[in-house]
Amino acid sequence: MSVAIEACDLAIGYHGRRVGTDISLGIDKGEVLCLLGPNGSGKTTLFKTLLGLLPPLAGTVRVLGEPVAGWSRAAFARKVGYVPQAHAGIFPFTVEDIVLMGRAARIERFATPSRHDRQLAADCLAALGVAHLRQRTYTEISGGERQLALIARALAQEPALLVMDEPTASLDFGNQVRVLEHVCRLRERGIAVLMSTHQPEHALRVADRIALLAPGRLVGIGESSEVATPAALAALYGVDATAIAGSLPSIPLRLPRRPAEENAP
Ligand SMILES: Nc1ncnc2c1ncn2[C@@H]1O[C@H](COP(=O)(O)OP(=O)(O)OP(=O)(O)O)[C@@H](O)[C@H]1O
pLDDT given at position 247: 66
Are the beta carbons of 108 and 65 closer than 8 angstroms? no
Which residue lies with its CA nearest to atom 4 of ligand 1? 14
Consecutive H or E run containing 194:
strand 192-196
Q: Residue 45 C-alpha to ligand 1 middle, in angstroms?
A: 6
Residue 213 alpha carbon, nearest atom of ligand 1 = 21
Which residue lies with its CA nearest to atom 28 of ligand 1? 40
Q: How many CB atoms lie within 10 A of CB 6?
A: 18
Are the beta carbons of 165 and 85 closer than 8 angstroms? yes
CA of 12: how far to CAs of 17, 53, 117, 220, in Å?
8, 11, 36, 17
Q: Residue 19 C-alpha to ligand 1 middle, in angstroms?
A: 8
Which residue lies with its CA nearest to atom 27 of ligand 1? 39
pLDDT given at position 7: 97
Q: How many CB atoms lie within 10 A of CB 249?
A: 12
List per-residue pLDDT tens for the chain, 265 residues long: 588 999 999 999 999 899 999 999 999 999 999 999 999 999 999 999 999 999 999 999 999 999 999 999 889 988 999 999 877 677 789 999 999 988 877 776 666 888 888 999 999 999 888 999 999 999 999 989 998 999 999 999 999 999 999 999 989 998 898 889 889 989 988 999 999 999 998 999 899 999 999 998 999 999 998 999 888 999 999 988 777 766 666 555 555 444 444 445 5
pLDDT given at position 253: 55
pLDDT given at position 133: 96
Residues forming beta bridges with residue 217, ordered by sequence position? 214
* Exposure letters 148-168 (e unless 16+ CB within 10 A, then b): bbbbbbbbbbbbbbbbbbbbb
Instruction: Report the side by side order of strands in the sheet with 80-83.
Output: 80-83, 161-165, 192-196, 32-36, 209-214, 217-223
Which residue lies with its CA nearest to atom 11 of ligand 1? 40
